[in-house]
Each structure stands twice: as C-alpha cells, then as structure tokens.
Structure 1
Amino acid sequence: MAAQSTIGPTTAIRGNVQGDGDLEILGRVEGSVVVNGDVTIGEGALIQSDVRGRRVIVRGAVAGNVSGEEAVILEPGARVVGDLGAPQIGIQAGALVRGNVTTG
C-alpha cells in the first residue's frame, strides 16, 4: 500500500509538488502536482496548475489540465477549467469541466 500525504485545508503552497505515494489536497496549490500514486482534490481545495497522477479524483477546483495514467473522476461539485486526459474519464452529475476531454 502506498503512503498517503495530505496538504491540509489551511495550507497554501506556491511551487511544484511531486511524490511517489498517494496525495490528498484539501488546501491550495499554485504549481504543478505530479505524483505516481492517486491524487484526491478535496472539496474546497484549489489547484492553479496542471495535475497528474495514477488516478485523479476531483471534488474541488482545478485551473489547469488534469491527466491520469488510469482514470480521472470528477465528482459532484468539481470544477475544472482545463483539459482532461486519461484512459477512463468519469464526469458525475453536478461536476463542471470547461476544456477538452480525451480518452484512450
């Protein structure tokens, strides 16, 4: 099982985030996020750059492109202004995406 790191709701990071395990983001990141594990962007979180991970689950907001090696899932309340790319993409009712969607 991969280790999980969390960026808390009161934390703001300016700069790129990289890692090997799973990452949960509840705060704000102004810089790219690249991890080898799963990325979960929590409700109320804001990412202002690109996000890449094995599986990316979005419940908050992303202003940038989102790509997953396996899947990208936008849950209710998610807002993405940017492109989505993954072999599997799920956009649930109540999620918003303004950009191109590419699967395959």
Structure 2
Amino acid sequence: MFSSKENKNQKPKVMERNVVAKNTTIVGDIKSDGDFRIDGTLEGTLITNGRVIIGAEGLIKGKVEAANADIEGKFSGELFVSNTLTIKTTADISGDVVIGKLSVEPGASFNATCAMKGAIKELNSSNEQKRPTEKTA
C-alpha cells in the first residue's frame, strides 16, 4: 500500500573496502567514500567518508580526513576524524590531530597537538552562559 516502485529499484548503499597491502607504497592523493586499510605505506592525502585503519606495519605520512580511524601503526601529519579516533597499543602518532572522540590504549605513542571538536563547542556554549550581562549606569 505504501511502497513505491522507486524503492524496489534502489540498491542499498554498500561501503567499499580498499586495502593498501604490505610492501606496497603509494605516493599521491586518494579520495573515496569507502573504508581503507593501510598495511603498506601511503605518502600523501587520504580523504574518505568511511573508516581508516592503519595496520601494525602500516605507515601514513601526510593528511587524512575520515569519519573514524583505528591506528595500530605509524602516522605523521594532519589527522581529521569527525567521529572516533582509536589509538592501539602499537601506534605511533605525531603531528596535528582534530577529532570528535578519542580512545587511547596504554603503551601507545601520541606526540601530537590535539583538538576535540565536540569539547570545544561545549566549552564555548557553557562560557557564554556563565558570562554576566553588563549593565550601564
């Protein structure tokens, strides 16, 4: 009764999974809607709406923009994660990091400047509420 022919013809959106295999080096920029697993080396920019996973032997030097990221290997550069960044015990991160949420396992090396977008918004709104209103004489 409520179904339409258009809904029957639409395919569900499936996130693609891309892998940069061990002993593989890519130099350049990558843009995708799918997830990425890096077990080799990427030197450049990676922009995705999905998840980025850097394996234990993986290395990224450059810029990464992703919805989520799990890092076990090495990262050096600029990292922008709109949701959750998970840093595993074997991870080694340096550079500039902007995230929504952060999870760090004990033993990880995290030598980066870090800004949390959600916390910044909350702090700004609470500071505005605490300010007294100015009165003129």
TM-score (structure 2 length as normaliser) = 0.72
Instruction: Report the Cα distance in structure 2 between the residues aligned to 1:31 and 1:64, rounded to whole angstroms.
Output: 9
Instruction: Report the Cα distance in structure 2 between the residues aligned to 1:10 and 1:83, rounded to whole angstroms.
Output: 26
Q: CA offsets, 1:13-45, max 9 Å, x none?
A: 010111111111100011011111000011111
Of 92, 96, 104 in structure 1, the residue corresponding to residue 105 of structure 2 is: 92
The size of the alignment, in residue pairs, is 104
Contact (CA 8 Å) 1:66, 1:72: kept in 2 or not?
no
Unaligned runs of 5+ in 1: none
Instruction: Report the Cα distance in structure 2 between the residues aligned to 1:90 and 1:102, rounded to whole angstroms.
Output: 13
Which consecutive segments of 4 or more residues in structure 1 shift more than 2 A? none
Larger radius of gyration: 2
Instruction: Report the Cα distance in structure 2 between the residues aligned to 1:66 and 1:33, rounded to whole angstroms.
Output: 10
Instruction: Report the Cα distance in structure 2 between the residues aligned to 1:18 and 1:30, rounded to whole angstroms.
Output: 14
Alpha-carbon RMSD across the aligned residues, in angstroms, is 1.0
Alignment of 1:12-51 (within 5 A): 12-51=25-64
Deviation, structure 1 residue 2 = 1.0
Q: Which residue of 2 aligns with 1:83?
A: 96
Unaligned runs of 5+ in 2: 1-13, 119-137
Instruction: Report the Cα distance in structure 1 between the residues aligned to 2:61 and 2:49, rounded to whole angstroms.
Output: 19
Look up the equivalent residue of 1:9 and give its one-letter code: K
Q: CA offsets, 1:61-96, max 9 Å, x none?
A: 011121211111111110111122111011111111
* Greater percentage in helix: 2
Q: Bigger relative contact order, structure 1 or 2, given CA contacts below 8 A and separation 6+?
A: 1
TM-score (structure 1 length as normaliser) = 0.94
